[in-house]
Amino acid sequence: MCGIAGGYGVSVHAMLESISHRGRDGAGTFSTPALTLGHLHHATHSSDPQPLRGCFLVGAGNGEIYNHRELAEAAPHGCRTKSDFEPVLHLIEEHHTGSLLQAVAKVHPLIDGEYAMAVTDGRDTVLLRDHAGTKPLYLSSRCFASEKKALWRVGVKGRPLSPAEVHSLCHGTLLLSRLKRVAVKNPVEHLLEALSTAVTKRASHLRSFGVLVSGMDSLTLAHLCAAHGYHPRLYTLSLPGSPDWSLKVEHLGLEHIQVEASPGDIEAAINRVLHAIEEPSPVSLSIALPIHLACSAASGDGEKVLLTGQGCDELFGGYAKYLREKSPEEAMLRDYLHMYRNNLERDDKAAMSAGIELLHPYTDRQVVEVALSLPLRWKLHRGERKLIVRRVAQKLQVPEHLLRRKRAIQYSSGTMKVLKKLAKAEKKKLSDFVSERFRAIFSAPPA
């Protein structure tokens, strides 16, 4: 996980300064008379600095490329660094026959990872983002950055790069396919295998990692980690008096850290988290607060990466609203397609403000393909939600009492209750309370 920023005729150094929390292990830039590309480094497995220089292209990436070894074998040039982004750069060079945009579009489907990346030949600059949009990237007509506040710093407003979008700052956009269906003969075994692969490819890519535990989805990931011999720390967040999660995970034999946050801790973190998530939404704030506080504890323990269960509800029918929909399949697909805006970008920024990269096994391409290919009865059945995930959890011997429905994180952690009390103490609606705090932090974002 890192931060990237760049553009034509803008102060990239000012942009990087505004998002310096995204990379505390180093910074680098590449410049031509017209363009500057900048990178902030959050080292998880490689200390090689970026931007990376190929034969005639320069690139900078944020995230993780899981099949970098396979890509290196397909690239014609030997890699000079251990960076997982360098093989991508060389492969784009191999496919470059005149159009940088077309070369990136050819390589994009070959990349397996959670990433956002910028590639330049010094004249044109092309941006790309993974199929799920796990890593944020925003752009305007002349610049781009990992967070909106970096664009605001130079006086422009941006839009998010869409998942699987390949965009040239000079020549426009190509939208690649995000959807693929596969034959699923044994749904439980197929999903178990896909999830196992998703977990191991992320775990084997890291020196150390933890799991952010909040319910069945993330507990299933923790069981998979233990089954494959990994020993991540498990992190949960709660207010004093909340249920003791250690009693729920002690059977795994993994170290568990229950982070207890007082109402005062939550109040003290409000401005910090609003600055991170860049939106005055009470719901987003109430979700981002426990993520940020748990990640702060993990960062204090020396961790740099946490796995999460994000994406499972959208893909496998976890929300109660799906039971009321006329077409639950259409609703789930719609939520999956907008998950990057509604959840992933917020969570990423809340975690990175605490120095933690989040990785999401449920958004792995193979897992998504299984989810899109399943009949509805494997997701919703007689009022039960996420049926197939429960079957996978049972196969992994997750204790039955841990498969019960849980409240959403903003309620189970108590953060929404604290926010409402704080607003009430100031005799304000919660939306007004949050909006006023936001305007005090970002006095004049571009209109």
The separation between CA 337 and the C-alpha centre of its own chain, rounded to angstroms, equals 14
User: In the predicted model, what is the mean pLDDT of residues 126-153?
Assistant: 97
Q: Looking at the predicted structure, is the pLDDT value of residue 379 above 80?
A: yes
113 in the same domain as 13: yes
271 in the same domain as 139: no
Q: Report if residue 332 sits inside a domain.
A: yes
203 in the same domain as 147: no
Q: Looking at the predicted structure, is the pLDDT value of residue 233 above 70?
A: yes
The contacts of residue 98 (CB under 8 Å, 6+ apart) are none
Q: Which of 255-264, 315-324, 399-408 has the highest mean pLDDT?
A: 315-324
Q: Looking at the predicted structure, is the pLDDT value of residue 445 above 90?
A: no
User: In the predicted model, what is the mean pLDDT of residues 100-125?
Assistant: 96
Q: Looking at the predicted structure, is the pLDDT value of residue 385 above 90?
A: yes
| Boundary-marking domain end, from 153, 175, 197 | 175
Task: Report DSSP letters for 367-436, one per residue.
Answer: HHHHHHHS-GGGTEETTEESHHHHHHHHHTT--GGGGS----HHHHSSHHHHHHHHHHHTT--HHHHHHH
The separation between CA 44 and the C-alpha centre of its own chain, rounded to angstroms, equals 15
Q: Looking at the predicted structure, is the pLDDT value of residue 151 above 80?
A: yes
Cβ contact 261:273 at 8 Å: no
Q: What is the pLDDT of residue 412?
A: 76
Q: What is the pLDDT of residue 1?
A: 57
Residue 264 lies in domain: 187-432
User: In the predicted model, what is the mean pLDDT of residues 4-32?
Assistant: 94
Q: Looking at the predicted structure, is the pLDDT value of residue 345 above 60?
A: yes
In the DSSP assignment, the letter for residue 252 is G
State how many domains the chain has.
Answer: 2
Q: Which of 8-22, 176-190, 333-347 has the lowest mean pLDDT?
A: 176-190
In the DSSP assignment, the letter for residue 213 is -
pLDDT confidence band for 24 (50 / 70 / 90): confident
Q: What is the pLDDT of residue 246?
A: 60
Q: Report if residue 441 sits inside a domain.
A: no
Cβ contact 298:351 at 8 Å: no
210 in the same domain as 147: no
Q: What is the pLDDT of residue 74?
A: 84
User: In the predicted model, what is the mean pLDDT of residues 349-363?
Assistant: 97
In the DSSP assignment, the letter for residue 48 is -
Q: Report if residue 445 sits inside a domain.
A: no
Q: Report if residue 281 sits inside a domain.
A: yes
Q: Looking at the predicted structure, is the pLDDT value of residue 425 above 60?
A: yes
158 in the same domain as 251: no
211 in the same domain as 124: no
- Vertex 292: Cα angle to 138 and 44 (nearest 5): 70
Question: How far is Cα 68 from Cα 62, in angstroms, rounded to an integer?
Answer: 14
The contacts of residue 67 (CB under 8 Å, 6+ apart) are 110, 111, 112, 113
Question: How far is Cα 379 from Cα 397, in angstroms, rounded to an integer?
Answer: 20
Q: Report if residue 421 sits inside a domain.
A: yes
| Boundary-marking domain end, from 149, 175, 201 | 175
396 in the same domain as 281: yes
Average pLDDT, the chain: 92
Share above pLDDT 70 across residues of the chain, in percent, rounded to a whole number: 95
424 in the same domain as 370: yes
Task: Report DSSP letters for 291-325, one per residue.
Answer: HHHHHHHHHHTT--EEE--TTHHHHHT-SGGGGG-
192 in the same domain as 156: no
| Boundary-marking domain end, from 175, 200, 221 | 175
Q: What is the pLDDT of residue 439?
A: 94
Its pTM stands at: 0.94
Q: What is the pLDDT of residue 447?
A: 57
268 in the same domain as 168: no
99 in the same domain as 218: no
Q: Which residues of 381-416 are buried (b: 16+ CB within 10 A; e: fewer)?
A: eeeebbbbbbbbbeebebeeebbeeeebbbebbbbb
Q: Report if residue 443 sits inside a domain.
A: no
396 in the same domain as 340: yes
pLDDT per residue over 200-215, tens digit each?
999 998 889 999 998 8
Choice between 288 and 252, residue whose per-residue pLDDT is larger:
288
Q: What is the pLDDT of residue 206?
A: 86
Q: Report if residue 391 sits inside a domain.
A: yes
Residue 60 burial (C-beta neighbours within 10 Å; 0-12, 13-18, 19+): buried
Q: What is the pLDDT of residue 291?
A: 95
- Vertex 20: Cα angle to 19 and 22 (nearest 5): 80
Query: What CATH number does residue 260 fall under?
Result: 3.40.50.620
Q: Which residue bears the tokens 């009492």?
A: 401
Please give the structure tokens belonging to residue 399: 């204790």
pLDDT confidence band for 28 (50 / 70 / 90): very high
Q: Report if residue 399 sits inside a domain.
A: yes
Query: What CATH number does residue 33 fall under?
Result: 3.60.20.10
